[in-house]
Each structure stands twice: as structure tokens, then as C-alpha cells.
Amino acid sequence: MTLTRQDCAALDAADALSPLRDQFDLPDGVIYLDGNSLGALPKATAARVQQVVRDEWGVGLIRSWNIAGWIDLAQRIGNQIATLVGAGENELIVGDSTSVNLYKALSTAIALQKIDAPSRRAIVSERSNFPTDLYIAETLAREHGMTLVLIDADELPAHLNDQLAVLMLTHVNYRTGRMFEMAQVTRDAHPAGALVVWDLAHSAGAVPVDLTAADADFAVGCGYKYLNGGPGAPAFVWAHPRHTARMDREQLRQPLAGWLGHAAPFEFTTDYRPALGIQRFICGTPALLSMSALACGLDVFAHAERFGGLPALRQKSLALTDLFIALVEARCANQGLKLVTPREAAHRGSQASFAHETGGYPIMQALIARGVIGDFRAPDLLRFGFTPLYTRFVDVFDAVEHLRLVLTSGEWREARFNERAAVT
């Protein structure tokens, strides 16, 4: 790799997406490569949240459920996300956390299979799936007398059998950045009799997703990574219309029957009558302040449509990760790093992960001290996320240079970088 920093600056100058960086409030002196964990702050967010607090809450008080449209906000924001993941209008809704929404979606998939194929007793997921997904699946498997089967990705074909009830996968693996071919996996799973639940936490807003074209069954995802909704932003849940239509016909419930998922919540009846469609997947009162912040993150994507939208963002994401991988392997050769992210574009999300032979934690801490923020995932992964809305090519070049200096100087061995913090 012979590219210079001047070459990278030229790439930025030619980048049609570069104006989108101005939508974010990014601190000086920081190269932020952790948007796959927590997205950066949109400039509009602080004023919007202040306006909701000051005017809608402070002045409108409880009247804002009507006059400010609070009651419909979960669906309106859901429709914004739907455009990013290939869902139809009013098919996806926002609220609760990813873990809670996964519990709802996976429970519903299990309930449907217990009606249609009660002999199927296996929930299959990837061994390296995000832990909360596995914990939820383990809990539900125990409750329903089923078995959670953990596999490596390349073992999947062997488990598409008459025991498989639900296949639960994260579209882009949080550790490696490996991306499943959603449509192909779903096409393989359905003839085997399985339903498929997808976690889009590391996909939505970073890579093109088309749930409808893939004929997926259920999907969940969070709002605080590539959607830039802020720490703890509400998550989303989607169910294919064929499933919500069936739930409507047969009066099937998702397991958390909360008051806003009622067909007529302000009748305050003692019996539960589920709302139609995706609305039944709402449980409790939405977090209005957090949802208002999330709306600002999503507004950036509407702005990005002027510059080519998600296809253009995906093209830039691949260019950024290609450049990072090539520069690391050229400039940090023989420093104990091993790429674990797929090189093939079709199998790569918007991140690059390297394992380090002696463990990556102190290396990442030394990088953070230099102003290059990625993160560490046990036991040995240095993880770097590339958000094409605001990451520049010069950021990639400079980050690799800092990584080279950290490794060649040995500064990562300093005691201060080896003291484990609670969050890595």
C-alpha cells in the first residue's frame, strides 16, 4: 500500500458524501472509529431534545400527547427506520431495548412454530452471536422445553433439518464484522421449515438491508449505533406482514402485553385485546426524550438521500474498510496483528477487526490516549467501526499511523494501559 496522507486527502476532496460530516458535532483532535458501538452526536440533537423538554414537556405538559403527536411518535420513527431496512410503512415500530424486542420477536416465532410444527425443538444461533441474544434465547429455550444449539457460521447447512424451529442470527457479527447473505440464508431456512429472526444492530444505517425482498420473518435492531440516536436510544422490532396478519386473525399475542399494545389503550379495560399489526409489539410508555434524539439521527439519513443514500454510503464504507485493512497490513506488518474480518465485500459489514497475539486491550487503550477511539472485545480483538456519514479517508490514514507508532514503540506495555476499566 503506497497511498500517502495527501492521497487520502484527495479522496476526501472528491467524496460526494463529505458534506454529511457537517451534520455531526465531532470533538477536535479525535478520530472516532467506534460508531458501531455508539454513534456520534448529530448537531441537531441537543436543540431538539431541549425543545421537547422546554416546550413540549414544560409548556404542553400532558397535552403534548395530542398536540405534539407524542402518541404516534413510535410509529413515525419506525417508518423512518423502515426505509433503511426494506420494510413497509407501519410494519416496524420503535420502543423498548433490543433485548426486550428480541424477547418479543423470538417468543412469537416460537409460538407460531409450536402451532405449526410442534415437534421442532431447536433454536439455532451462531456461537459468536452477541451475548444478550444468546441469553434471551437460552431463557426462552428453557421456558419452552427447547434446545439452544450454538454453531459456527459454516456449520449452518447441517442444522437446516426437521428439528430446527427458529434460526436466530445477527446480520453482521459484532466481533468479526462478518455479514450473512440474508436473502440466501432465509431462502435456505424456509424450505427446511424454520422461521428466521434477524438482529440488525450492526447493519441498520451501515449496510443496505431489504427485509421484504429477503422474505425475512422477524427483525430487531438498536438505535444508538449507526443510527446515531444516542446512548440507550430505543430499539425497533419488525414482523413480516404475513405473521402480523395471522396474529390479527387468530388473536395471537406477543408475550409482553402492555397497555399501549392494546387495541384501545385509553378505554382502560381490564382485559387485553391486542392492537392490529405491528402496534401490538409496543409494550409500555415510549421514552419520548430518547425517541426525539433518535429522530435527529434518522433525519441525517433523509439528508443523505441527496448524496446517493444507502448505496453510496455502502460504497464509501467498503472503500474505508478496504483502505484500513490494506494500510494496517502494510504499515503494521510483523506486529502480531491478524485480520479476522472477511476481505470479501459481500461478507463484510462496516467494521474491521484485528486479533493481537498478546491481547488487544492495552493497545486499544494506548490508541484511545492518542485520540483514536475504537474498542476492545475479549479475548483479543481490536475493533474499528467506520461510519461513512462522518468518517474521512484521512482519519483512516492517521489512525493506522497511530496504531503503527503504538506497536513499534511498545508504549502499549505501559502499566496505565494495562489497567482494566469496567467498559472496554
Question: Contact at 8 Å (CB) between 291 and 234?
Answer: yes
Q: Is-catalytic flag, 224?
A: yes
Question: Contact at 8 Å (CB) between 407 and 226?
Answer: no
Rounded Cα distance, 334 and 324, in Å:
16
Rg of the chain, C-alpha, whole Å: 22
State the sign of the Cα–Cα–Cα–Cα dihedral 299, 300, 301, 305.
positive
Q: Is-catalytic flag, 225?
A: yes
Look at phi and psi of residue 69 and say left if phi exceeds 0, alpha if psi is from -120 to 50, else beta: left
User: Around Cβ 204, how many Cβ atoms within 10 Å?
Assistant: 25
Q: Is-catalytic flag, 174?
A: no
Rounded Cα distance, 183 and 169, in Å:
13
**Of 316, 370, 377, 383, which one is the catalytic site residue?**
383
Q: In what order do the strands lie in the sheet with 236-239?
A: 92-94, 236-239, 218-221, 195-199, 164-170, 122-126, 147-151
Angle between helices 241-250 and 98-116 (to 10 degrees): 70
Q: Is-catalytic flag, 316?
A: no
**Of 32, 103, 130, 324, which one is the catalytic site residue?**
130
Q: Is-catalytic flag, 114?
A: no
**Of 175, 225, 280, 316, which one is the catalytic site residue?**
225
Beta bridge partners of 355: 338, 381
Angle between helices 288-304 and 73-85 (to 10 degrees): 40
Question: Which of 88, 3, 1, 19 minimizes the C-alpha distance to 389?
Answer: 19
Buried b (16+ CB within 10 A) or exposed e, 206-238: bbebebbebbbbbbbbbbbbbbbbbeebbbbbb
Amino acid at the residue 248: D
**Of 34, 96, 199, 380, which one is the catalytic site residue?**
199
Rounded Cα distance, 401 and 395, in Å:
10
Catalytic residues: 130, 199, 224-225, 383
